[in-house]
Structure 1
Amino acid sequence: MSAKSDIDLLRSSVREFSEKVLMPVAKKIDAENFISEDILNQVANMGYFALRVPDKYGGPNLSTLESAIVVEELARASGAVAIMATVSGTMVAYPLVHYASEELKEEYLGRLSKGKIGAFALSEPCCGSDAANITTKAEIDGNDYVINGRKTWITNSTYADFFLVAARTGKQEDRHKGITIFVVDNKDCIEKSKLDMMGYRGSGTSELLFKDCRVPKENIVGEVNNGFKIIIDGLNEGRIITASTGLGIMQAAFDESLNYAKIRETMGKPIIEHEMVQSMIADMKVKLEASRLLIYNAAQKIDNNEIDYPMWSSIAKYATAKWGVDVVRLAMQVEGGFGYSKESNVERYYRDIKMIEIGDGTNEIQKLVISRSLAGKITSPRLKH
């Protein structure tokens, strides 16, 4: 897809699916912290868990921009489904596309295209922002590596068919130079403990304990001890799509509060006619559209492999996170007591949007990436094939 009409058609298709399938069950997903197999199958059948998988392997072969639009529209209905699509369809698929062997691509990209779900096991209790300090170990044993360690805050874990796992194959003091990425099938050596998160409830976020998980050497993605570059490249892509979930939530909150302001009356007139409410609505609209422009611009830079795309990815992620929280807070303010209750969807949006300031690199990390990029220390890490 490239022409504007194709983009519009894609957006229309995802919006129709989201409004028909996801909106009616979004509150239930949030309340129960679970997504039914039926809903997951419908999402999978649309190809949303395989967004970046090339058509060679049966996937939809979407660009970063197209993936961002899909996730934006999913998030208007369900942040949980949107973040699941973000992780499986981009943060898992993208590294496999660019760094995996042909055998791994055929097997695991093929699984994604058939509706299976992937998860990216990176964060650990010791190491969120400091990914170079991970302690999960992978030790060579014959033709296999044996993985032991703990991962946490891993989205999709409950439903995942396989994991991309970042593990230490070098010494701890090697930091980023001693990390390797493995594809690990879901099996009994992985113990899962589901987490009760504030937002994006239902996305299968869990803690994982790897106990002597044997993985064949052939399941290494890229090269031994060169996994950190893959992590960074995947995060540069993933930050844009994660920001797109925030964009969809912002849009939903704006739409709901605007409609509310048009029908809620005080002092004999709709509150949209009060200047204070008009000021909030205008502020929300500016931040919403500015975020959209930054996300789409950064996505196109990734698609063009422009050398400075990591900086623009962080700019878009940081701005959307900061402004997204502002927009949803204002939406709740417009709705007042109703917005603070679970009768309003804005209450759920408020809990969901906060994660954008934390996941895939906190706001503080994004500012570090931006400043280091301006100093010439960060450019595109993507390997050339």
Structure 2
Amino acid sequence: MTTAEFSFPVREAERKVLDRVAELAEGFRAAAAEYDERAEIAVGHLTALHDADVDRAVLPERVGGIGLSYAAFGHLVRVLAKADPSTATIWTMHAGAGVALAEFTADTLGGFFAEEFLAGKRFANALSEPASGNRFLNPQQDAVPVAGGWSLTGAKRFVSGCEIAEYLLVNARVDGAPAFFGVMPDETVSTIPIWDTLGLRATRSQLLSFDHTLLRAEYRGRAPGFGDFAVIPAGLPAISLGIADAALDALIEHARSRVILGKPLAHQQWVQYEVADVQTKLAAAHALYERALWEADHGVPSFFPNLSRAKYLANKIAVEVAQLGVRVGGASGYLKQSPIQRHLRDAEAGQLMAYSTEVIAGEIGRAVLGVAEDE
């Protein structure tokens, strides 16, 4: 792949990483179904990404990395998600936690977390609480002052890759306000084995229990800011778009190869009409996402709400494409060995990731109608 093949400006360092990810993705795709079947984290995939300098690429230049543009980052996650959405999800959450800790603590730890991230240590986000719903940046659990920092007792849910994580990004209320910490899991942090999901099984996003866990004062960081690289908000739409792209490819392959009454299924008019509908919607979702990434790269303030809109549309269209794949695939698409059923299961998971489609719909609707959130 050459620079001219990208639809956005690409620096040489970015191009090398994106080309390598495209190569790795082919192998990831071949193994994705097996890892999904076993509900097993593809540790080798994550190691290969680190060795390909993907972690260094996503880390902003100001804290020691290459500093991917938002456009390049979105492309990278889409490529990974199309091949193996579980690996794409774990890596996005790992990058989100690692980059956030490097940025949040840059003034206090002198790049400690950045160095650990670049050294290949594993990070995970432990922000979502059973009681806080989608509002993962507004924790409801209070940390109690103790010697050396604060003590946290509670739980964090859907922590992707937590079983291999060496550092956690954790938040809690301190003096009534959200506070963010780096935590090295010890005997006070335990995994509650609840993982038996329908989709994205290889993320193993478990529930973590904290029992008087020390949140060290020296590992406390500032709150998220506008200038921070928004890894997770920018990555989540790409995960659903990658799943949708894979689902559409599987649908097309089946429709072209399955012969009904002497002609490929693709010749049936209802299939053509339905495919036209979902493909057009998917193209619109890609365009909205790319617009939001462009705004982020150019410092346009509207990029954040537009990333939410892109996630909403990407989540919805991924499910639509995957559902159509099952209809076109018929009984064959319903079989366990078919990729069509896995795409459907994975597509449904995107709608549940914070912020969920219902929460985003409420935000969009209030904005369009001019209704204040507290009204």
TM-score by length of 1: 0.86
1:99 to 101, 104, 122: 104
Aligned equivalents of 2:110 and 2:274: distance in 1? 48
> Residue in 2 aligned with 1:191?
190
Structure 2, unaligned stretches of length 5 or more? none
Give the drift of 1:96: 3.2
> Residue in 2 aligned with 1:162?
167
Give the drift of 1:133: 6.2
Over residues 177-222 of structure 1, what are the superposed CA-to-partner deviations in whole Å (9 max), with x where a residue is unaligned?
A: x211111112222101232222111113111111122232121110
Give the drift of 1:23: 1.7
> Residue in 2 aligned with 1:218?
218
> Residue in 1 aligned with 2:155?
150
2:240 to 221, 224, 246: 246
Q: Is the 8 A contact 1:53 1:60 kept in 2?
A: yes
Counterparts of 1:353-368 in structure 2 under 5 Å?
353-368=347-362
Q: Is the 8 A contact 1:146 1:214 kept in 2?
A: yes
- Report which stretch shifted further, 286-295 or 75-84: 286-295
Counterpart amino acid of residue 160 in structure 1:
A
Give the drift of 1:257: 1.2
Give the drift of 1:337: 1.1
Over residues 164-188 of structure 1, what are the superposed CA-to-partner deviations in whole Å (9 max), with x where a residue is unaligned?
A: 11111134xxxxxx21111111222
Give the match's secondary structure for 1:137.
coil
Q: 1:243 to 1:254 in 2, by over 3 A?
A: same
Q: Is the 8 A contact 1:11 1:73 kept in 2?
A: no
Aligned equivalents of 1:353 and 1:234: distance in 2? 28
- Report which stretch shifted further, 125-134 or 290-299: 125-134
Does residue 216 of structure 2 align to residue 202 of structure 1?
no
Give the match's secondary structure for 2:355.
coil
Q: Is the 8 A contact 1:68 1:299 kept in 2?
A: yes
Give the match's secondary structure for 2:211.
strand
CA root-mean-square deviation: 2.7
> Residue in 1 aligned with 2:133?
128
1:13 to 13, 20, 28: 20
Structure 1, unaligned stretches of length 5 or more? 172-177, 379-385
Aligned equivalents of 1:344 and 1:95: distance in 2? 38
Give the drift of 1:100: 2.4
Counterpart amino acid of residue 169 in structure 2:
L
> Residue in 2 aligned with 1:258?
252
Give the match's secondary structure for 1:202.
helix
Q: 1:115 to 1:372 in 2, by over 3 A?
A: farther
Give the match's secondary structure for 2:331.
coil
Over residues 85-143 of structure 1, what are the superposed CA-to-partner deviations in whole Å (9 max), with x where a residue is unaligned?
A: 11112x22443354323444611122222222211111112221244763333222233
> Residue in 1 aligned with 2:119?
114
Q: 1:369 to 1:97 in 2, by over 3 A?
A: farther
Q: Is the 8 A contact 1:47 1:59 kept in 2?
A: no
Counterpart amino acid of residue 83 in structure 2:
A
Q: Is the 8 A contact 1:163 1:186 kept in 2?
A: yes
Aligned equivalents of 1:233 and 1:29: distance in 2? 36
Aligned equivalents of 1:215 and 1:331: distance in 2? 47
Q: Percent identity?
A: 24
> Residue in 2 aligned with 1:271?
265
TM-score by length of 2: 0.88
Q: 1:299 to 1:191 in 2, by over 3 A?
A: same
Q: 1:321 to 1:120 in 2, by over 3 A?
A: same
Aligned equivalents of 1:233 and 1:97: distance in 2? 13
Q: 1:217 to 1:295 in 2, by over 3 A?
A: same
Give the drift of 1:56: 6.1
Q: Is the 8 A contact 1:135 1:149 kept in 2?
A: no
Counterpart amino acid of residue 20 in structure 2:
S
Counterparts of 1:320-331 in structure 2 under 5 Å?
320-331=314-325
Q: Is the 8 A contact 1:119 1:162 kept in 2?
A: yes
Give the drift of 1:303: 2.4
> Residue in 2 aligned with 1:336?
330
1:72 to 70, 73, 78: 78
Give the drift of 1:279: 1.3
Q: 1:166 to 1:49 in 2, by over 3 A?
A: same
